[in-house]
Amino acid sequence: MEISSRTKNLGTENAFVVLAEVNKRIAAGKEIISFCIGQPDFDTPKVIKDAAIKAINQGKTGYVASAGLPELREEIAKYEGKLRGIELDPDAVVVDAGAKSFITHTIMSTTDCGKGDEVIYPNPGYPIYEAQTIVNGAVPVPANILESKEFNFDLDDFKKKVSDKTKLIIINSPQNPTGGVLTKEVLEGIAEIAIENDLWVFSDEIYSNILFEGKHESIAAIDGMKERTIIATGVSKTFAMTGWRIGYAINEKLAKSFSTWVTNITACAGHPNQYAAVAALRDAEKEAEEMTASFKRRRDLIVKELNDIPGFNCLKPKGTFYAYPNVTKACKNTGIKDSEELRKKILEEVGVAVLSDIHFGAKIPEEGEHLRFSFATSDENIEKGTEKIREFIKKNSK
Ligand SMILES: Cc1ncc(COP(=O)(O)O)c(C=O)c1O
């Protein structure tokens, strides 16, 4: 018996690989300060937990329609429509166990396996975009996100990625791992390309509420884009609900296909959890705002601390809870080969866990070396962890 080659070659979220390294050290009694994990460090608000407990006690524990509870789909259409300033139809909404599954559902619904269909996706970016493109028999085409453009695409470069095989563009804003936000001009440029070439756009907006400046701009709100945009988002990050596994996608034309994929794969998202999501969208706005305010304060703290490390240069993230400092000079000054070697050294020598740029796609040589810090952690950890790195860099600089 053999394991299929596509499974053997399946990409993954390297955050989980690093997490295993970290846990091994913790089990061996080492003290580790971790900036790895991509989830809020807050507990789910009580009003949400109470709604789930009530649903469980009322016996709402069986299968439900694959597209999701009508009550939840209505609430999603209202909430997400208001956030983007557009009308959304509840029938266009499909719910599943996390926004992540819609990356797969979308690639499967818009490309054919083995035909050379191409998917453009951001690099650096969430690694699942590339992994799912490959495993589903499509061709991954990375489009660079540039630090010099405050973590945006260069539109001329982006245009060159489009061919007559392109079927789908994936974008993510606010963005993992850079904390960047795509500008209105870039969104309009991508919209123009999508319309001109008749392409789908998967818009991963999971961090749409963790935004520190201005209002969230969705490509779906641009004229002619709603019909070709799959808005993918959910309650994981906004409401500290990562483990509840409720995400959703919104697109009128694809809703039926998505719902068939959900029937095939998960049947439906957890029934009581869907009531929790209704409560989140309806009744937890204040708690969500407080969490975002707290991430903003920590953003300011970590950017100040990182920029105080010799050879680190960190742009201010505009959203998410990720900082993505450029550490090229720190590598040079310490004689460390690259970001990945630096990551390993600071884990081994000072017990601080971070991710490096290679965990988010192929290296762009002219962009230099980067590390990713999740600042969904305490002020104390931010201060202690960055101080340890500062001491390490100072001690090892030539
Ligand atoms: C860019 C991006 N998209 C999607 C997800 C997954 O979200 P969910 O928990 O809703 O599956 C994550 C989680 O880290 C993410 O960073």
Percent of the chain, pLDDT > 90?
94
Of 211, 182, 218, 247, the C-alpha closest to 320 is 211
Pocket test for ligand 1, best of 94, 100, 207, 321 (most atoms within 8 A of CB): 100
Mean pLDDT of 144-156: 97
237 lines ligand 1 (CB under 6 A): no
pLDDT at 354 (0 to 100): 97
360 lines ligand 1 (CB under 6 A): no
Ligand 1 atom closest to residue 97's alpha carbon, by position in its atom list: 11
Of 306, 339, 330, the C-alpha closest to 18 is 339
Q: φ, ψ for residue 70 (rounded to 5)?
A: -55, -40
Mean pLDDT of 342-371: 95
pLDDT per position as a tens digit, 29-57: 999 999 998 899 999 999 999 999 999 99
Q: Which domain holds residue 189?
A: 46-284
Mean pLDDT of 82-97: 98
How many Å lie between the centroid of ligand 1 and the Cα of residue 39?
9
Beta bridge partners, 249, equal: 94, 232
pLDDT at 345 (0 to 100): 96
Same domain? 98 vs 58: yes
Residue 382 pLDDT class (50, 70, 90 cuts) = very high
- The two structure tokens encoding residue 254: 């694809």
83 lines ligand 1 (CB under 6 A): no
Same domain? 280 vs 317: no
Contacts of 230 (CB under 8 A, 6+ apart): 102, 106, 200, 201, 202, 203, 249, 250, 251, 254
Interaxial angle between packed helices 46-57 and 271-283, expressed in degrees from 0 to 180 and rounded to the nearest 10:
140
pLDDT at 309 (0 to 100): 98
Long-range CB pairs of 148-156 (<8 Å, 24+ gap) are: 150/180, 150/183, 150/315, 151/175, 151/178, 151/179, 151/180, 151/181, 151/315, 151/324, 152/180, 152/182, 152/183, 152/186, 153/122, 153/182, 153/186, 153/189, 153/190, 155/186, 155/189, 155/190
pLDDT per position as a tens digit, 283-308: 999 999 999 999 999 999 999 999 99
pLDDT at 339 (0 to 100): 97
From edge to edge, which strands make up the β-sheet containing 93-96?
93-96, 247-250, 229-234, 200-204, 166-172, 118-123, 139-146, 152-153
Ligand 1 atom closest to residue 234's alpha carbon, by position in its atom list: 10
pLDDT at 365 (0 to 100): 84
Helices (H), ranges, 4-44: 5-8, 14-27
pLDDT at 13 (0 to 100): 82
374 lines ligand 1 (CB under 6 A): no
C-alpha dist (Å) from residue 64 to 267, 269, 271, 307, 392? 8, 8, 7, 50, 54
- Mean pLDDT across the chain: 97
334 vs 397: CA distance, rounded Å:
4
Same domain? 267 vs 141: yes
Whether the CB-CB separation of 249 and 38 falls below 8 Å is answered with no
Same domain? 333 vs 251: no
- Domain count across the chain: 2
pLDDT per position as a tens digit, 93-126: 999 999 999 999 999 999 999 999 999 999 999 9
Mean pLDDT of 209-215: 96
Residue in this structure with the two tokens 């989140």, named with its chain if needed: 280
Closest C-alpha residue for ligand 1 atom 14: 38
pLDDT at 37 (0 to 100): 85
Where are the extended beta strands (E) located within 27-99? 33-34, 93-96
203 lines ligand 1 (CB under 6 A): no
Provide the residue type at 205 as one letter: E
DSSP string, 120-173: EEEES--THHHHHHHHTT-EEEEEEEEGGGTSEE-HHHHHHT--TTEEEEEEES
Name the domain boundary from 249, 268, 284.
284
pTM confidence score: 0.97
Beta bridge partners, 352, equal: 33
pLDDT at 326 (0 to 100): 98
188 vs 211: CA distance, rounded Å:
20
How many Å lie between the centroid of ligand 1 and the Cα of residue 115?
28
How many Å lie between the centroid of ligand 1 and the Cα of residue 99?
6
Closest C-alpha residue for ligand 1 atom 6: 100
Neighbours of 223 (CB within 10 A): 8
Helix (H, G, I), strand (E, B) or coil at 52: helix
Ligand 1 atom closest to residue 247's alpha carbon, by position in its atom list: 10
Name the domain boundary from 251, 284, 317.
284
pLDDT at 17 (0 to 100): 81
Same domain? 60 vs 187: yes
pLDDT at 21 (0 to 100): 86
Q: What is the CA radius of gyration of the chain?
A: 21
Same domain? 293 vs 383: yes
124 lines ligand 1 (CB under 6 A): no
Same domain? 277 vs 291: no
pLDDT at 270 (0 to 100): 98
Same domain? 51 vs 160: yes
Whether the CB-CB separation of 378 and 33 falls below 8 Å is answered with no
Same domain? 211 vs 120: yes
In the DSSP assignment, the letter for residue 74 is H
Ligand 1 atom closest to residue 237's alpha carbon, by position in its atom list: 9
Same domain? 178 vs 91: yes
Name the domain boundary from 224, 257, 284.
284
Same domain? 315 vs 374: yes
pLDDT at 19 (0 to 100): 84
172 lines ligand 1 (CB under 6 A): yes
Residue 337 belongs to a domain with what CATH number? 3.90.1150.10
233 lines ligand 1 (CB under 6 A): no
C-alpha dist (Å) from residue 272 to 34, 52, 99, 110, 117? 32, 5, 18, 31, 38
* pLDDT exceeds cutoff 90 at 377: yes
Same domain? 312 vs 278: no
